[in-house]
Amino acid sequence: MSPFLLTRTLPEDATDAALRADVLHGLTHTPKTLPPKWFYDAHGSELFDRITELPEYYPTRAEREILIARAPEIAATTGARTLVELGSGSSEKTRHLLDALPGLHTYVPVDVSESALTQAGQALIAEHPGLGVHALIADFTGGLALPGTPGPRLVAFLGGTIGNLLPSERATFLASVRALLSPGDTLLLGTDLVKDESVLVAAYDDAAGVTAEFNKNVLHVVNRELGADFDPDAFAHVALWDDEHEWIEMRLRSLTDQTVKIPALDLAVEFADGEELRTEISAKFREEGIRRELAAAGLDLAHWWTDREGRFALSLSVVR
């Protein structure tokens, strides 16, 4: 095979159509919501990279610690010949796995960003001669079809991103991952863990205000792409812990009574003073809960690793 293949499974206009649908649904819903995936234009991605380096934001460092320590064990346990990474981005964390998988035949990064896939894929080929990279421009929360590559397959879903899905969405997602795999294939899942509320809230409301800027970036995206007239300064960043659901919510709170016009949707949205727009949930997990959700999807949790402080976990599950 060619060392680098790029397959588009999303139509060229899929991103625009999805944004329109999400904004129309979310801003006419009660309470108002917008999905967190719209944070991530070029500027939003840069802001998130800055967030991962903040002292308050522990998940990236904690997950990297586990990957470095456990990559040889993951490689020996899985014997993976194909590594699939969902939401791969720059593929930075995956390098620890690639270095530990000497028998790897193909790496399949999956992302909605063609530029990120191309840049990361070409860099990896240069670093790993003989490795095939078959990148997929795809939304992993939709129907996903993997290329024909040799097994065993290891699917990696890192960064705690699964926490952005509601429980029903997680069940659907895990079932869809199981459907892609064969008995003996494995799923490596990164999950942030329940911990002290003050630590959690600080991670999403840093002293430097980077997360606040990141949160408001979704308004800039809607302004640019749909011609809206959001004034980001008319909203305040809010991060709070929901103890009942065990998740962090990020919201934008309107600082005044205001009307936002979105010409591309022929829509005018009223915000009352103090009304909040939810932009993200980030669920935190316990081992028994993860085990239960995985089992319901036909995946048996075989290994559970945490960082030294017990803040974050990587789990390795085997397909029945």
Task: Please determine, for residue 299, whether its predicted confidence score (pLDDT) is greater than 90.
Answer: yes
Task: Please determine, for residue 1, whether its predicted confidence score (pLDDT) is greater than 70.
Answer: no
Between strands 132-137 and 106-111, the pairing is: parallel
Banded pLDDT at 45 (limits 50, 70, 90): confident
What integer best gives the mean pLDDT of the chain? 94
Residue 316 vs residues 77, 187, 228, 306: alpha-carbon distances, Å: 9, 6, 43, 12
CA distance 91 to 111: 10
Instruction: Tell me the Cα Rg of the chain.
Output: 20
Q: What is the pLDDT of residues 88-141, one digit of tens each?
A: 888 888 889 999 998 899 999 998 888 888 888 889 988 988 899 999 988 888
Banded pLDDT at 153 (limits 50, 70, 90): very high
Structure confidence at residue 90 (pLDDT)? 82
Q: What is the pLDDT of residues 228-283, one digit of tens each?
A: 999 999 999 999 999 999 999 999 999 999 999 999 999 999 999 999 999 999 99
Task: Please determine, for residue 151, whether its predicted confidence score (pLDDT) is greater than 60.
Answer: yes
Task: Please determine, for residue 14, whether its predicted confidence score (pLDDT) is greater than 90.
Answer: no
Domains in the chain: ranges and CATH: 26-56+203-283 (no CATH), 63-195+284-319 (3.40.50.150)
Residue 137 vs residues 81, 118, 172: alpha-carbon distances, Å: 21, 10, 21
E runs forming strands in 87-222: 106-111, 132-137, 153-157, 186-192
Nearest to 164 by CA among 40, 274, 43: 40
Out of 13-17, 45-49, 74-78, 202-206, pick the least confident: 13-17
Task: Please determine, for residue 309, whether its predicted confidence score (pLDDT) is greater than 90.
Answer: yes
CA distance 229 to 53: 32
CA distance 48 to 40: 8
pTM for the full predicted model: 0.94
Q: What is the pLDDT of residues 70-81, one digit of tens each?
A: 999 999 999 999
Structure confidence at residue 91 (pLDDT)? 86
